[in-house]
Structures are given as C-alpha cells and as structure tokens.
A = this chain, B = another copy of it.
Amino acid sequence: MSDIHDSSRREFISTSALAGGSLLLGGSMNLFAATRSAENIKSRGYAAIDTSGALVPWDFERRPVGDDDVLIDIKYASICHSDIHQMKGHWGPQKYPQVPGHEIVGVVAAIGRNVTRFKVGDRAGVGCMVDSDPSCPSYRDGEEQYCASTVFTYGYPQPSSPTGISQGGYSTNIVVNEHFVVHIPGHISFQEAAPLLCAGITTYSPLMRFNLEAGDKVGVAGIGGLGHMAVKIAVSKGAEVYAFTTSPEKVPDILAFGAKEAIVVDDLEKLAPLAGQLDYMISTIPVQFDVAAYASVVKPYGTFTQVGMPERFEVTLSAIGLAANRVNFNASLIGGMKETQEVVDYCADNRVLPKIQVIRAEQINDAWTSVVDKKARYRYVIDAATF
C-alpha cells in the first residue's frame, strides 16, 4: 500500500507544477500548497521507548501528505487500555519509540489532490485504523478491520512512515488516508467525541449486530471506558441494562448512566441470581476472567461477546461451563469505517456522551496508572495543545 502511495505521490509532485492551476480548493489553497511537498511533517508527542509503560516526550516526523491523505492538527486524543497493553508488550514485541493513541480528533490542516470528503478546516476524527487494501473483500464490505493488510493506528509496519511504523494520536498531528477519517459533527465537543473512535465503535458495533431491541435485557461486564459507553448506548436504544463491576464506588455512576441494576461482582456467586436471565452480554474486561461464570447470566443459546483484549489476547474458558450455559461466545474487534461514522453521528445526535476527564500531556503517565488501577472515570482525554 505505502509503496503505491509513495510512487503516486512522487508522480504527483513531479507534475504538479504544470497541473497546479486545476488544484484550486478555495480558501484552503494556501494551506494545501504549504503541505504539498515531499517534506516530512514535524510532529511532537509522547512515546513509549520500552515496555516499562512510562511515556516520554518525543519529536518525530510524519510522512508528507499523499494524494489520498488528510493532515489533521490534533486537538484531543483519549487513553484506551489497549494503548497500555500494546506499549507494555502484552500483545507481542513492539518497535520503539512508539506513540500510542487511537481515539483522535482535530481539524483538517491539509488534504491531498484526490481527497474529496474533507476540506481544510473540517472537524475530523481517526480511530484504530489508518490504511488498508481497498481490494480486500472485508474492506469492500465496510469491515476494513478484518483485512490482513490493515495498518492499525500505531505500531504497525508502515513503510511510508519515516519511523517505519504507524505512530498514534498522543501527538500534535497525524497524516491519514482519507478513507480512515470520519467527520465530527459540530454539535459534539472534540473532547467528548474522541472516545467514540474506539470505545464507542467497539461497543456499538456488536450491540448493533445483536439487533438490540427496546426492552431487551443486556449485560455489560467491566465498566471502564468501553463498558460505560456500552451501558449508555444500550440504554439509549431502550435496553434494560445490567452492569457488572468489581468497583463498588462506580455504582452511583452506573445507575446515573441509566442502568437498571449495578451488580458488584466481588464474588462470582453474585452472578447467580441473574442466571439465564439476559438476552445478551458484552464483556469489556481486559484481563483474564471466568468467562463461563459471566456467561451464565445469559439465556440458553444467547450470545456473549468479548471485546476486552487481555494479555496475549488470551481468554481461557471452561468448555464444560460454556456447554452448561449453552451460550454462543464470540469476540469482536472495533468496527468498520462506515459504522464508525455512524456511531459518532448517533452519539452526537442522541447526546450519548462519554464521561471524561481532560488532562495535560505531563499527566499521561499518572493517568495510565489510574486506568490499570481501575480508577479512571471513565476516559482520560489528553489536550493536544500541551504536547
């Protein structure tokens, strides 16, 4: 993919002096022209340099804006537990320095010649993906996340990147193929939109696939960044929501989010009264846990979806426990770009907003500790002006 971009970009650059007259894009011409060079784009962010989980300020470069690319001046980026797992090497060895962050919002600062969906000044968001292969069947089906060639937002090999890997959103700007950019409507704040790009889509997508209907009894296990969005989205769709948490102090929030019941699972026995009661359950628990015990609250032949990704991505489950529960277990990974736009629009229109805490760049390391310690309430959003 990147090779193709590179060659088409080079070709464009070499011919743009002649074709320049046809490239007028109204008021954006100056900015467009300013970035239409083969110059790398300077960026500044916070990067992991090892598996310690501590980030440090880092100056690096992005690729120049290609024909299909959008340059976004980042306004906010929020913190996902996945950022921590990946930087610490829980999902496999990493290349460092690496800038995490895949919940990114900002303003379009420049566009490539082929870009049609964005203009300079547009409010824009980037989630977990930044590139893929348009000929992949899943891409054509609007499920780009399942293409083998998909480049995820940070840590993936990306020859077009000066650092060799994709670099994420804990930074001042990002260059992304326009297909992987969504519009952020004017009636939602940047701060509140950021978490929708991963936490929102990751919970919205399986809930929509389940064909959630008003009155359905929906369980949500793990009430952190993803879980609290799952509760809010399910409530907004009319579901009767049962939230399972290990943090008793979250109960008032959970009820305020609209859940019918908050169950503090300090002992798996607490699940027993709901055995076989729920139509559907989504787990955002990002560590190993007793899947069959949690699945026991779902009706026989119901569905249990795992979206949290533990260390090594491994979930160990009791086959006999799962058999006894007669539950279909599946796992789900974010959602496609079309559906990502859909969730952003849906949440903006219906005021389904994450509960956030805005932090400065120098607070990131403390915030990560809080996320691991289950102290986040419920999404830390980094003000990119502080990088």
Residues of A bordering B, CB below 8 Å: 91, 146, 300, 303, 306-310, 312-324, 326-333
Contacts and interface: CB of A to CB of B under 8 A. Distances in A.
Given A146-B300, A303-B328, A327-B330, A309 B319 contact: yes
Contacts of A314: 316-319
B318 A313 contact: yes
Q: Is the interface of A mostly helix, strand, loop or mixed?
A: mixed
Given A314-B316, A315-B317, 17 more contacts: A91-B320, A146-B300, A303-B328, A306-B319, A308-B319, A309-B319, A310-B319, A313-B321, A314-B319, A315-B319, A316-B316, A319-B331, A322-B330, A324-B333, A326-B330, A328-B330, A329-B329
11 contacts: A310-B319, A313-B318, A313-B321, A314-B317, A314-B318, A317-B317, A319-B331, A323-B333, A326-B332, A328-B330, A329-B330
B316 A323 contact: no
Nearest to A91: B320
A30 to B, nearest CB: 43
Nearest to A333: B323
Contact of A331 (B146, B307, B322, B331): B322
A330 B292 CA distance: 11
Contacts of A323: 306-307, 330-333
B326 A146 contact: yes
A126 to B, nearest CB: 21
Contacts of A146: 300, 324, 326
Given A146-B326, A327-B330, A328-B330, A313 B320 contact: yes
A322 B306 CA distance: 10
A316 B318 CA distance: 9
Contacts of A332: 323, 326
Nearest to A288: B316
A139 to B, nearest CB: 13
- Indicate the member of A313, A317, A328, A331 with the most B CB atoms within 10 Å: A331
Contacts of A329: 328-330
